[in-house]
């Protein structure tokens, strides 16, 4: 009798696996590690999150841009807030390109 119950359980096992596999969510958890350890972040605390770090002006200088006259914030090694301006650079009388022209660094 025990052997029959064991064989019946093994025969029903493939039918049970897809049902339990369908219950497992494949989506990534929506919580971060900080939320898991400290709890959810309140909207007031979200106001004080550090801003996106500004790129260094030396990394932006001379790279291509799309709209003449547009500006972009940058910084230097002295942590001065500088800006870059999208400017025309003519390399022949009829040809030009748009490149970032940044302020002088410290």
Q: Which residues contact 5 (CB under 8 A, 6 or more apart)?
A: none
8 A C-beta contact, residue 57 and residue 75: yes
Cα–Cα distance, 55 to 74 (Å, whole number): 5
8 A C-beta contact, residue 59 and residue 77: no
* Mean pLDDT for all residues in the chain: 76
Q: What percent of the chain has pLDDT over 70?
A: 51
Pick 34 or 76 by higher pLDDT: 76
Q: What is the pLDDT of residue 24?
A: 58
Predicted TM-score (pTM) of the model is: 0.50
Cα–Cα distance, 82 to 57 (Å, whole number): 8
Cα–Cα distance, 55 to 82 (Å, whole number): 10
pLDDT-based confidence at residue 10 (cuts at 50, 70, 90): low
pLDDT-based confidence at residue 94 (cuts at 50, 70, 90): confident
Cα–Cα distance, 23 to 11 (Å, whole number): 21
4: pLDDT strictly greater than 90: no
8 A C-beta contact, residue 43 and residue 50: no
Q: What is the pLDDT of residues 20-29, one digit of tens each?
A: 555 555 655 5
Pick 34 or 104 by higher pLDDT: 104
The sheet that has 81-92: what strands, in order across it?
A: 71-75, 81-92, 95-102
């Amino acid at each position: 009798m025990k052997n029959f119950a064991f064989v019946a359980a093994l025969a029903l096992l493939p039918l049970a696996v897809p049902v339990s596999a369908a219950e497992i969510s494949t989506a990534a958890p929506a919580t971060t590690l900080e939320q898991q350890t400290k709890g959810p972040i309140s909207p007031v605390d979200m106001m004080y999150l550090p801003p996106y770090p500004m790129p260094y002006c030396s990394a932006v200088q001379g790279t291509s841009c799309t709209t003449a006259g547009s500006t972009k914030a940058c910084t230097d090694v002295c942590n001065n807030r500088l800006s870059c301006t999208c400017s025309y650079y003519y390399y022949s009388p009829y040809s030009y390109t748009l490149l970032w022209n940044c302020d002088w660094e410290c």
